[in-house]
Chains A and B, each alone.
Chain A
Amino acid sequence: MTGYRLSSGGLVDRSQSLSFTFEGRPLRGFAGDTLASALLANDQLLVGRSFKYHRPRGIVSAGPSEPNALVTIGSGARTDANTKATVAELYGGLTANSQNRWPSLGFDVGAVSGLLSPFLGAGFYYKTFMWPKQFWERVYEPFIRRAAGLGRAVLEPDPETYEKSWAFCDLLVVGAGPSGLMAALTAGRAGLRVIVADEDFRLGGSLLSTTETIDGGAASVFADRAVAELQSLPNVTLLSRTTVFGWYDDNVFGAVERVQKHVAEPSSKHVSERVWRIVAKRALLATGAEERPLVFGGNDRPGVMMAGAMTTYAERYGVAAGKSVAIFTSGSAGYRTARALSAKGVAIAAIVDARAESGDRAPDGIRVIRSASIVDTKGRQRLKGIVVERSGFEELIACDAVGMSGGWSPVVHLACQRGAKPIWSEELQAFTAPDVGGGLRPVGAANGVFTLAGCLSDGAEKAAAVAAELGLNVTPAAPPVVDGEETSSFVALWYVPGAKSKAFVDFQNDVHAKDLGLALREGFGHVEHAKRYTTNGMATDQGKLSNINAVGILAGMRGVSPAEVGTTTFRPFYTPVSFGALAGAARDEHAVPARKSPLHGWATKNGATFVEAGLWYRSAWFPRAGEKTWRESVDREVLNVRANVGLCDVSTLGKIEVFGPDAAEFLNRLYCNPVLKLPVGKARYGLMLREDGFVFDDGTVSRFDEEHFFVTTTTAMAGPVMAHMEYCAQALWPELEVRFTSSTDQWAQMAVAGPKAPAVLQQIVDGDISDDAFPFLSARKIVLKSGVSARLFRISFSGELAFELAVPAGYGEAVADQIMEAGRPHDICAYGVEALNVLRLEKGLLTHAEFDGRVTPDDAGLGRMLSMQKADFIGKRLSARYGLTAADRMQLVGLKPVDADKDMRAGAHLLKEGTKPSTLNDQGWVSSAGFSPVLGHAIALAFLKSGRERYGEKVIVFDKLRDQEIVAEVCDPVFVDPQNMKLKA
């Protein structure tokens, strides 16, 4: 093949020359070219290496079905791998490189695997690399991954932006060829809201590359006029460069619009790609038909191309695929290409027709060889000749390109994406769209109409029918007059017998006809099995060219109709969609928003180190000058809270306001402990169960007045508890008069803990907060001396005399500053969640490290909270099950190391002394552990079989992950101040 630019013709703009590079080689093309047409015009035939055998490959198609011409476009962070050169719009400054070759495209070491090909048959990975087993990870897999790669992703962050949009319309037209444009014109003129989407950068589809004329002019002129009229209609939206990739429930379509993939320097004002979700009352599938390759010996030699693609390159791009072109066809389309090329002055070497006879007209003086086939091709990196076989005689014919045509398949992918299978038509010798109802109907070539005039009138009629269904009376416009009408008959030819070298079915995955035979012999003859056994149709092109031939070959070998073989399953996406487009704007902080407490500024000022807890950033500890490790800071904070006073941000706890005459009854049914009689002005610890009797969440319940409660949840369960309450109120007990709302973000809440807490807070709060006036578990609305309305709770998660003060979020930082100021003479410190955790650990107080979904209240030592006198509460009934009350359940205990310098970590398992680690010998696990600065050694909370009876016993703390084993003594889980002297001091 010798590609070159024809001296005239085509729809490219010859006044606009564009420079680009391929493999570093500077080349030139025209505006309106694709990368593929520009490469052909520069006689760049070799564009890639095949996946398995590393065979040289050239451009095969002129559209999205391209299996070979996959290139990497761009550089640095703006690198797009695996881009089809046949759909990539050429722009000035484009840089493209081939893939899957080493060290260079022309000389590829991997091509020796072609010599090994007898050993690389279908299923060879499964058979060859089975043993020795350890070789898989260390030898085979890295080798295969290096050898069989496509383009490489880059590691730099993507600098482009993306977005997602919704669109709504009466009629979506998928494809802007003759049928699509006529449908859009008819519906648009009738006033329907129409969206036309086409993957090409120029609308017109086959009108841009046909030799037929419409109304006496070029078909492309008709297309341009139609597009201009559609653009003038306010009710019509034209989306070019937009691929409709999926059809989803409720007639919702997914489409990706490549907004700025065709410019060298994308503007920051626009996104790079946009994903559309199009809600369409009706849709027409005007996606045309795909020409079938022929499966003959040596059919993958660069220079062998689809006949229709050759026409397209000549008519639309003014590029000839060769100087001497042979045609191999089983239908009229090959003749059509021969006439088109001949008219452009391209020599036709011969037309090889698989059929014995036909009425198709060859260009004058061109030799037609009937009942013949190509059995081999000559040349290496470019085609030099073909071996034609007829009646047992072989003849070598010199040529530099072959246009092949094996008939047509309607493009019905979208219609098959929701479960319906395509239907085999004996008459059309093709799979056609299934009847999927009125929402999506095929039209034109996608509907098996293969003449231009037929497509134009089918488009107009189908659109008029849609308009009628939507209540508009429309007469379809008289279709324009077509001259030089081409017919489109063919005989299906799945496999060309007598191949003298490999006859490829799937170019991209290197599947040849014999692989399918092997699959059938080895019991993988079902189309879905054959696909996976041979990898036919599993490459990035999803078998757009290969699947139909694979079905035909399997049918032939099994002696059945293609209808019986059927097709593999169609799924979105029709063509690959970039992850960037699918992610849209949901990137970085837009995908995972950062939740910051109202006291975040206060914590930052005080030097906090933050830790991510879900979406929240929580202050973990507050290092001071001279502290070298986090432990030093945490130990200091803990000791200071126990000795003086500390301030901790607890705003992230979930907060829910509950109102209504039945609020008390509602909460009484949600918590396992009694809430009904909670006095106004009091708070209470509360435990929620799941219906299966295990602990769901814990928190506090406070009552501000008869019909106003305030409940808190743990930080992590704020959302699930809210949803649970909504479910109970709406779906279980709608008769209860109760309303509630989350106020988590409305309040800044701070714990002020330690023996000096009252002295500090009294300077801020208006009113007496002494132990007499504001005893333990008080909960009241108060006013600060500054005039700020607030809520004060006498509750503690540290075992110290403590308060929690809540102020409206906006006042949080100012009030926290005030408290720090008032606390300075009392040696106040800020403390974080690490110190909070140590403080609660020393007191045996529980978090979701303990409440892991397998723990009952009794397991956690809270069995007395279960109020079985209540008529009902969530989890009551299944709490009484035998399995949840058995004496040998894992129960909460404390652990202290026998050697005080030994460490313990959460996740370790417990064993009896003298036993070996095994599932059978497992006695429990460590749920939380840490260093107690008060005691001066490690402490842990653990769940131990019948643990409460085993205080004093020694157990092994077995930590396989850290290869550590220590002996610990089982003890009461309250390590510090077991009499709670400090709490109520």
Chain B
Amino acid sequence: MASLITCPHCGVRPKEEFAIRGDASRGRPEPMDSDEAWHDYVYVRANPRGRTFEHWHHIAGCRRFLVVERDTATHEVYSVVDAVEFLQRAER
């Protein structure tokens, strides 16, 4: 895990200021989506080795949800963006 996270709003901050929620890569299904889609969304989590996208909540800072793109093996952080920007990028 990284020691330092560059928050797009607050700058370089220590990891202790954040709470990690988990996988940010999948969106919430639509209400009428299949049982499988909802089951996966609520219960099934991958535990990948390598590059992941996670929601990090800057609880002791701006209280924004950020999406941290990092490598679970090397701990390298590739990018940190606000969750809203992450959603907008996904839509584009």
Chain A interface (Cβ < 8 Å from any Cβ of B): 166, 248-250, 252, 277, 279, 418, 691-692, 723, 726-727, 730-732, 734, 871-872, 876-878
Contacts and interface: CB of A to CB of B under 8 A. Distances in A.
A279 B13 CA distance: 11
A731 B42 contact: no
Contact of A723 (B4, B19, B75): B19
A878 B57 contact: no
10 contacts: A248-B3, A279-B4, A691-B42, A723-B57, A723-B59, A726-B63, A727-B65, A731-B65, A731-B84, A878-B42
B87 A734 contact: yes
Contacts of A876: 31
Contact of A730 (B29, B59, B84): B84
Given A249-B1, A252-B4, A730 B31 contact: no
A730 B64 contact: yes
Interface string B75-88: 10100001110010
Contacts, number: 56
Given A250-B2, A726-B64, A731-B87, 6 more contacts: A277-B3, A727-B21, A727-B65, A730-B82, A730-B83, A877-B38
A869 to B, nearest CB: 12
Contact of A249 (B3, B31, B65): B3
A872 B31 CA distance: 6
A591 to B, nearest CB: 14
A727 B42 contact: no
Nearest to A252: B3
A247 to B, nearest CB: 10
Interface in B7-44: 14, 19, 21, 24, 28-29, 31, 38, 41-43
Contacts of B21: 727
B24 A731 contact: yes
B43 to A, nearest CB: 8
A402 to B, nearest CB: 45
A277 B13 CA distance: 13
Contacts of B43: 692
A431 B29 CA distance: 53
Contacts of B28: 732
B65 A250 contact: no
B42 A692 contact: yes
Contacts of B19: 723
A871 B31 CA distance: 8
Interface residues of B, number: 27
Nearest to B43: A692
Nearest to B1: A249
Contacts of A252: 3-4
Contacts of B38: 877-878
B3 to A, nearest CB: 4
A277 B4 CA distance: 11
Nearest to B74: A419
Nearest to A727: B65
Interface string B48-84: 0000000101010001110000000001010000111
B84 A734 contact: yes
A692 B44 CA distance: 12
A249 B55 CA distance: 19
B70 to A, nearest CB: 10
Contacts of B75: 249, 418
A730 B4 CA distance: 22
A730 B24 CA distance: 12
Contacts of B63: 726
B57 A727 contact: yes
B15 to A, nearest CB: 8
A872 B33 CA distance: 12
B31 A726 contact: no
B55 A731 contact: yes
Nearest to B31: A872
A250 B31 contact: no
Contacts of A249: 1-4, 75
Contacts of A248: 3
A726 to B, nearest CB: 6
A279 B6 CA distance: 14
Contact of A726 (B2, B4, B57, B82): B57
Closest A-B pairs by Cβ, 10 of them: A252-B3, A731-B83, A250-B3, A734-B84, A730-B65, A250-B4, A249-B3, A872-B31, A249-B75, A248-B3
A726 B1 CA distance: 24
A872 B3 CA distance: 39
B61 to A, nearest CB: 12
Most buried by A among B2, B4, B29: B4
A220 to B, nearest CB: 37
Contacts of B59: 723
Nearest to B5: A250
A967 B75 CA distance: 58
Nearest to A251: B3
B55 to A, nearest CB: 6
A877 B31 contact: yes
A166 B87 CA distance: 34
Nearest to B27: A732
B56 to A, nearest CB: 11
Contacts of A279: 3-4
B46 to A, nearest CB: 18
Contacts of B55: 727, 731
Contacts of B64: 726, 730
A435 to B, nearest CB: 14
A876 B18 CA distance: 29
A277 B64 CA distance: 25
Nearest to B41: A691
Contacts of A277: 3, 14
A249 B65 CA distance: 22
A878 B43 CA distance: 11
A731 B65 CA distance: 7
Nearest to A723: B57
A726 B65 contact: yes
Contacts of A731: 24, 55, 65, 83-84, 87
Contacts of B14: 166, 277
A166 B13 CA distance: 11
Contacts of B3: 248-250, 252, 277, 279
A685 to B, nearest CB: 24
A727 B59 CA distance: 11
Contacts of B41: 691
A831 to B, nearest CB: 34
Nearest to A733: B28
Nearest to A166: B14
Contacts of B1: 249
Nearest to A254: B3
A277 B42 CA distance: 38
Contacts of B77: 250
Contacts of B2: 249-250
Contacts of B83: 730-731, 734
A544 B37 CA distance: 54
Nearest to B75: A249
A877 B33 CA distance: 9
A691 B42 CA distance: 7
Name which of A692, A876, A877 has the most chain B CB atoms within 10 A of its CB: A877
Nearest to B85: A734
Contacts of A726: 57, 63-65
A144 to B, nearest CB: 37
B83 to A, nearest CB: 4
Contacts of A418: 75
Contacts of B31: 871-872, 876-877
A682 B8 CA distance: 40
A248 B83 CA distance: 27
A252 B2 CA distance: 10
A876 B30 CA distance: 11
A723 B83 CA distance: 14
Contacts of A727: 21, 55, 57, 65
Contacts of A732: 28
A743 B59 CA distance: 16
A359 to B, nearest CB: 46
